[in-house]
Chain A
Amino acid sequence: MADAAMKPTDLTRRSNLYRVTTQLGARWGEVNGFAAPMNYGDAAAETAAARELAIADLAALPRAGYKGWDMAGWATGQGIDLPEPNRARAQADGTLALRLSNGELVLLSGDDAGSTTIDRLAGAWTMDGAVCFPVPRSDTNTRFAITGARTPEMMAKMCGIDLRSHRFENHQITQTSVARMNAILIRNDRGTSYALDMVLDSASAVYMWECLTDAMAEFGGRPVGLEALRALSA
């Protein structure tokens, strides 16, 4: 729930976007030690917008990565249900396992920030006899969600990949160029609504947010908080 009195600067962990989302009227809540935008003042309108076209800052949600010649052997041994390269698979606790190549894995928490898998693997990895190594994803990368039926049409303005629903299946991944920046796009529907998660360089978060909100303007897209995403999945 949003806490009306909370400011993003109350907590030590904050999104690279917090100045932008503050200007947009974000109401904050604590998620994973971060101040996260829970809503922008109108939860019902945001949920409706999230079905059409919306963007959310998911910087607060936990994420982690592992890479190495036998990542698959190690991760499977840790109980990860691993998909084939360029596919994602939901784990029992809602964590999404993205397989970027034969030897690379990224773990993204569900919208409830309730991933136990990410902490468990961080505790299990040791240097001794390592067949893969951790790739820092929580600070060097950030994450957005772009949701709603008009997402593919909007993304066609800034990305060369056909993301339409019948061409880009749920849990399919594309690692490509978006607005001339490298990004990972994962189709990760919320409930019955089309949704993409984007993982990108955190230092370019403001640039990418501005590109996306600018591209969304002609379709009536708007920023939404975490509560709207959770409402879609409920």
Chain B
Amino acid sequence: MKIMTCPLNGPRNISEFAYGGEVKELPAPGCDNETWVDYVYLQENLAGVVKEWWYHTPTAFWFIAERDTRTDTILKTYAASEVFKERVDFAAGDKE
């Protein structure tokens, strides 16, 4: 079976993981609806090295993997806290 290395748990069978979509930059608060639709629903689907969210099901642990979609090779994995270091707060006035 294919093996993926979880940053918390180490190498595990790929059957223990679930795919969570591409890692994207959060649109600025107050952006237009089209930008939100793009962010929520549309995927780049690149042929090349992509950053993706992956989930280790037994521990409920989300992390980031860099994968080459042309060869389906996992290049590296790391904790999301290495990228997302600050809490994002939305002001109440941003709601429409």
A residues lining the B interface (CB < 8 Å): 85-86, 100-101, 160-161, 174-177, 182-184
Q: Do B12 and A86 touch across chains, with their CB atoms under 8 A apart?
A: no
B residues lining the A interface (CB < 8 Å): 1, 8-9, 12-13, 15-16, 56-59, 61
What is the chain B residue whose CB lies nearest that of A174? B9
Q: Do B16 and A177 touch across chains, with their CB atoms under 8 A apart?
A: yes
Other-chain residue from B1, B13, B57 in contact with A182 (beta carbon distance below 8 A): B57
For this complex, 22 residue pairs linking A to B, each with C-beta atoms less than 8 Å apart, are: A101-B8, A101-B59, A101-B61, A160-B12, A160-B13, A160-B16, A161-B12, A175-B9, A175-B58, A175-B59, A176-B9, A176-B12, A176-B16, A177-B13, A177-B15, A177-B16, A177-B57, A177-B58, A182-B57, A182-B58, A183-B58, A184-B58
Measured in the bound complex, the distance between the Cα atoms of B57 and A183 in whole Å is 10
Q: Which residues of B contact A100 (CB under 8 A)?
A: 59
Summed over the interface, the residue pairs from A and B with CB atoms below 8 Å come to a total of: 30
Q: Which residues of B contact A176 (CB under 8 A)?
A: 9, 12, 16, 58
Expressed in whole angstroms, the minimum distance between the Cβ of A114 and any Cβ of chain B is: 29
Measured in the bound complex, the distance between the Cα atoms of B8 and A184 in whole Å is 14
- Rank and list the top 9 A-B pairs by shortest CB-CB distance, nearest first: A182-B58, A175-B59, A175-B58, A160-B13, A176-B58, A177-B16, A101-B8, A177-B58, A182-B57
Measured in the bound complex, the distance between the Cα atoms of B11 and A161 in whole Å is 9
Measured in the bound complex, the distance between the Cα atoms of B55 and A91 in whole Å is 32
What is the chain B residue whose CB lies nearest that of A183? B58
Measured in the bound complex, the distance between the Cα atoms of B59 and A160 in whole Å is 15
Q: Which residues of A contact B13 (CB under 8 A)?
A: 160, 177
By CB atoms of chain A within 10 A, which of B1, B9, B15, B16 has the most?
B9
Q: Which residues of B contact A174 (CB under 8 A)?
A: 9
Expressed in whole angstroms, the minimum distance between the Cβ of A84 and any Cβ of chain B is: 11
Q: Do B8 and A86 touch across chains, with their CB atoms under 8 A apart?
A: yes
Q: Which residues of B contact A86 (CB under 8 A)?
A: 8-9
Expressed in whole angstroms, the minimum distance between the Cβ of A30 and any Cβ of chain B is: 33
By CB atoms of chain A within 10 A, which of B1, B15, B57, B59 has the most?
B59
Expressed in whole angstroms, the minimum distance between the Cβ of A106 and any Cβ of chain B is: 12
What is the chain A residue whose CB lies nearest that of B56? A175
Residues A85 and B8 in contact in the complex (CB < 8 Å), given A160-B13, A176-B16, A177-B16: yes
